[in-house]
Amino acid sequence: MKKVKVTQEQSEAIERIKKDIDGGITMANINNQLRGGWFSSPYTSLNKLDIKEFLDAIYIGYEVELDIYIGDYVVNENGTIGIVKEITSGGNFLKGQWLTGAQVSMECPSSYIERLATDEEIIFAKKGREVWELRERDILSHKITGAIHEIKNQINNVTYFKSQVSGLNLDATKKHYQVACFAEDRQDV
């Protein structure tokens, strides 16, 4: 069986759906797909797939069709994030800079790129960090209360704040907090 070709936005929607109950194969999801009833981003992009393509993408898998441009942030098959600074050979070869991992020059065939980076990945990559790699003196704000907390350290995916004794696991940190300021951007010292 052949994998369905989908856009980056469709890929994001499919991945969210696959995390849903029953791997995304619910009556509500199937009804939405049959009726073209997806109304919020990135799900609206799924309205362009027929039901067979939708189910094949979930069950068999899919390939992302990428339109890569100069200035795009991309992710390779190893999860390394980089920025494209030049496209040569009719779009088949990319040059730029890897921002995470070894942080070396990017020179690779475009087929080496798995997908475009998400906004969250870009924010961390611009700082030379992996996603949710927190460092001492980073500032997080609570998503609901707005309370500000300074990072003491992060050990084995547990975040420790200077103002608290116990740590918070990484999943809870991501769920309840957002980065307000990276340590290297602070102007208070």
pLDDT tens by residue, the chain, 189 residues: 788 889 888 988 888 888 877 776 778 878 888 888 888 878 888 989 998 998 899 888 898 888 899 999 999 989 999 999 999 988 889 999 999 988 899 999 988 998 889 889 999 999 999 999 999 999 999 999 999 999 999 999 999 999 888 899 999 999 999 999 999 999 886
- Mean pLDDT score of the chain: 90
- Which of 125, 148, 167 finishes a domain? 125
In terms of domains, do 56 and 77 share one? no
Q: What is the pLDDT of residue 35?
A: 83
In terms of domains, do 59 and 78 share one? no
- Structural domains of the chain, count: 3
Rounded CA gap, 150 and 142, in Å?
Answer: 11
- Which of 125, 150, 169 finishes a domain? 125
Q: What is the pLDDT of residue 2?
A: 80
Q: What is the pLDDT of residue 38?
A: 85
In terms of domains, do 52 and 77 share one? no
Q: What is the pLDDT of residue 189?
A: 63
Q: What is the pLDDT of residue 111?
A: 86
Tokens of 114: 């798995």
Residue 8 falls within a domain, yes or no? Answer: yes
Rounded CA gap, 73 and 79, in Å?
Answer: 12
In terms of domains, do 52 and 16 share one? yes
Q: What is the pLDDT of residue 131?
A: 92
- Residue-range definition of the domain harbouring residue 37: 4-64
Q: Are 99 and 81 spatial neighbours (Cβ–Cβ below 8 Å)?
A: yes
Residue 134 falls within a domain, yes or no? Answer: no
In terms of domains, do 41 and 12 share one? yes
Residue 87 falls within a domain, yes or no? Answer: yes
